[in-house]
Each structure stands twice: as C-alpha cells, then as structure tokens.
Amino acid sequence: MGKPTGFKEFERKTEPYRDAVERLIDFKEIYTEHEQEHLSIQGARCMDCGVPFCQSGNGCPVYNLIPEWNDLVYNKRWREALDRLHKTNNFPEFTGRVCPAPCEGSCVLGIHEPPVTIKNIECAIADKGFEEGWVVANPPKTRSKKKVAIVGSGPAGLAAAAQLNSLGHNITVYERDDRIGGLLMYGIPNMKLDKTVVNRRVNILKEEGINFFTQTDVGGSGPYSLSINELLNTHDCILLTTGATIPRDLNIPGRKGDGVHFAMDFLLKNTKSLLDSELTDGQFIDANDKKVIVIGGGDTGTDCIGTSLRHNCRSLVNFEIAPKPPVDRAKNNPWPTWPTIFRVDYGHEEAAARYGKDPRAYSISGKEFVRDNQGQLLGINTIDVDNEFNEIPGTIRFWDADLIFLSMGFLGPEHYVFEGLNIALDQRSNYQADYGCFQTSHEKIFAAGDCRSGQSLVVRAIDEGRQVAEKIHEFLQN
C-alpha cells in the first residue's frame, strides 16, 4: 500500500494528454512528461485493501504486483519499483501506454471513490528505468542446444521469445512485415505508441541473443518465404503468435469498389509511410479534405479517428451499433468487472476540439454503400437499431462520405501459415490450443495470443507469451 490515509487525503488526478489542438498537427505521442512528485502522491492513494483485486481475477492479466510498486513509488524507490514491475511484465513501457487498465476497473478503492492511477504510474516506472539506464540487456550465461522458431513478432511472440531466451534456448523470430513488432509496430499509431519505444526494446532483445528475420513469410509464396515443414525440420518446436488478422467485413450492397477500407489497412499504410518517408511517398490512404466515416468503436476505431484528423479530413463521423453507454456502472455491471461506461478517448477529444462535438453516432447500422454510375463512393445509407439490434422501421438516413473505414473487429488468424499440416481449429477458426497448455494438435507446434484466443488486449498477449514459454520449456526438457 502507499500512505495508510492517502486514499482519504488525495484525489485521483491523471497525467494529462497534450492539448488536443496542439497534438493534431503531428504524430508525436499524446502524453505529457511524467511528474514524479505528482505520481508519488497518486501512489499514496493505494490502500491496504486486504485482497488486491487489481492484480488478479478481473484485474491485471499478467498479475502485476501493483500494490508493491505503488508503495515503492510513494517512497521514491523507483529502481526497486522497476524490478517488481519487470518481475511480471516484460514490456511495461508498452502496456503503460496502450493498455485500457482493467486493473483500475477492479481497484477496491474504485468501489466508492475514483481508482488509483495505476496506468500512469506503470508507464512512469518503465520510462524512468530507460532514462536512468537501468534497463539493459541481460543475456543468458549458458545456452541449451534447443532451437525454437516463433512465427509472428507481436506482443505474445516477443514475450515468449524473451522468456525462452532467458532460459538459454536458441530463439529465432520470423516476421512477414519489414519491421519487428507486429501489432505494436503497425497496428497502433505513433501518437499512442511511438516506434522508437518499440525499437528500443527490440534492440535489447537482439543484444540478449534473439535472432530476428523480417520480410519472411512462413507458409507464403514470396521470395523470402519458408514452409512450416522447413521450420519443423530445423527446430525442436514452433510457436505460432500470428495474431487475429482477418478483419470482419460489412457485406452490404455497394461493398465492392474504392473508398471503403479495412481499418488496419489504413493504419498500417499510414505508419509505414510515416516511418519510411514522413508521409511524402504517397503510399498511404490519404484522408486529407475527405468526408470520413469510421464504422465501429474500440481502440482501432479511435485510432482511425485520430489518424484521419491528422490528415486534416473535412468531416468525421463514427458509427457504433451499440447504444450509448451509461456514465456510471449499470446494475448488471458490478465491481470488479470491467466498467462498461461512457468514455472519451483521445480521438473523440480531438474531434470535439476540431468540430465542436463528439463524433460518435450510436445505435446505427449500415444498410448500403451508395455509389454513382462510375462506382465512385458517395456515402452510406443507415438504419437505427434498438438495444437488441433490431432495425427500427422508417429510420433510414443517407450520410455523405468519401472514405469509410471498417473497424468491426477480427475473425481469427490467417491459415496459410500451416498449409500442408492438419492443425485443428476451434469453432471461431482460431488455433485449437487450451489455455494453460497452449499445445496444438501437432505435438511440436504451440500457439499463443490472439491467434489462439481471438482478438484481445496487448497485456493478455504478453501473459500468454509468458505462459506458453513455460510450457515450451517443459516440452523441451522432456
């Protein structure tokens, strides 16, 4: 805990984002500098709650020792706080930026008062660790003769690689894109997770002896492809951490043609062009002076909003099929479950700063993409729906649009990776591998992260990466 009476004395105060109007002119991170004295006071709010729900059950998926490092920050023992944080989380600099903080949703203080600012404190501990030079490569002193191939370099793959490498095994990570990081690199825009933060950690993993190969498409047909059988012949086992990369489509009339794009295509191309050329190469979907509609909420929808605004779009609307959430927990959404409440994320705040209102329209469903005789996108017809998503007659409306981005989640992994092998899939087309075991129907192939569980959080992917590493280590020993 922090100060015994801290939760009575101090109010919750989060670290502010940069001014919305100011940050819209660049792709720099939206966060402001950490203030250690402020965070020390916030750490003091952590109470002696008896059972810290923040670090178990509905709270933190990696079981971060949250009360311990809150207390250490309150007492200004930052180096020890970093050690406790790294004990359970390989990449707190990622989760401190992009995690929605389920720990705060299950904070005991949050039953009657605003919860502890856990996410801010976590990010500050990690950032201070790098600033002070405390985070350094720590390669294993001895090596086994075992070789593990990891397919996919997102958070699950990197966490598993770090853990297995620390145990002395020889780890090679294969990534089909041109940069390491998977979702961290191309699925999350720079303003939320700057790629220097990703590369900084990847470079440490390289120093620790992990081998990385980019533009290597396992199961693909390109010039730098490898078959899954080739990996099986040269490695003791394989771990699939390919993510859930098949997007959910909106198959309504008018779908075919220009102007309608999957959200991840928009975000990936924008980040790649930004890193390659500061958006001068034209190799991205440009929303400049366009009327933009984003269909679907969540983090990805918000990222499409933020990116479109930075392109200087002419207008922006965000459709959500669900009704507007309540301001406070509903009776059927009790603590310590995740609070499904109305939130204003960075993109919504930015849209309001530019256009004077929140961009979201609730309880609305697309009926038809409208095009002219040449196939040019003109907009979309929608219909209102009730709380059970039934259409309400007489509510069809037309919305102007030059660009429409589909951000409705993902269906599962791409299966070409294991072509030629009969790997079992679950009912949702994910790799069938039980949580806690992670072994697929093929003895030498394991799966973890979104390709096993379905679309989820970065922190859950890290958890699965850490856990599957334990199981692979046991398998290699036997």
- CATH number of the structural domain spanning residue 367: 3.50.50.60
Tell me the C-alpha distance between 123 and 115, whole Å: 17
Give the pLDDT of residue 50.
Answer: 87
Q: Specify whether 162 is located in the same domain as 29.
A: no
Asked whether 110 and 192 are in contact (CB, 8 A), the reply is no
The DSSP result for 148-194, as a single string, is EEEE--SHHHHHHHHHHHHTT-EEEEE-SSSSTTTIIIIIS-TTTS-
Tell me the C-alpha distance between 219 and 295, whole Å: 32
pTM comes to: 0.96
Q: What is the mean pLDDT of each run of 10 residues along the chain (478 residues)?
A: 89 97 98 96 93 91 96 97 97 98 96 96 98 98 97 98 98 97 98 98 98 96 89 97 97 97 98 98 98 96 98 98 96 94 97 98 98 97 97 98 97 92 94 97 98 97 98 96
Give the pLDDT of residue 41.
Answer: 96
Asked whether 55 and 67 are in contact (CB, 8 A), the reply is yes
Strand partners, 398: 381
Give the pLDDT of residue 116.
Answer: 97
Domain that holds residue 233: 147-245+411-477
Give the pLDDT of residue 223.
Answer: 79
Q: Specify whether 402 is located in the same domain as 468.
A: no
Buried b / exposed e along 138-167 (16+ C-beta atoms within 10 A): eeeeeebebbbbbbbbbbbbbbbbbbbbbb
Give the pLDDT of residue 444.
Answer: 97
Give the pLDDT of residue 1.
Answer: 73
Q: Specify whether 401 is located in the same domain as 280.
A: yes
Q: Specify whether 235 is located in the same domain as 259.
A: no
The DSSP result for 184-243, as a single string, is IIIIS-TTTS-HHHHHHHHHHHHHTT-EEE-S-EET--STTEE-HHHHHHHSSEEEE---
Number of domains in the chain: 3
Q: Specify whether 380 is located in the same domain as 437.
A: no
Q: Specify whether 53 is located in the same domain as 164.
A: no
Q: Specify whether 265 is located in the same domain as 372.
A: yes
**Among candidate residues 84, 102, 131, the one where a domain is terminated:** 131
Residue 396 lies in a domain: yes
Q: Specify whether 323 is located in the same domain as 381.
A: yes
Q: Specify whether 280 is located in the same domain as 385.
A: yes
Tell me the C-alpha distance between 264 and 274, whole Å: 15
Q: Specify whether 180 is located in the same domain as 65.
A: no
What region does 254 belong to: left with phi over 0, alpha with psi -120 to 50, or beta?
left
Give the pLDDT of residue 157.
Answer: 98
Q: Specify whether 417 is located in the same domain as 359.
A: no
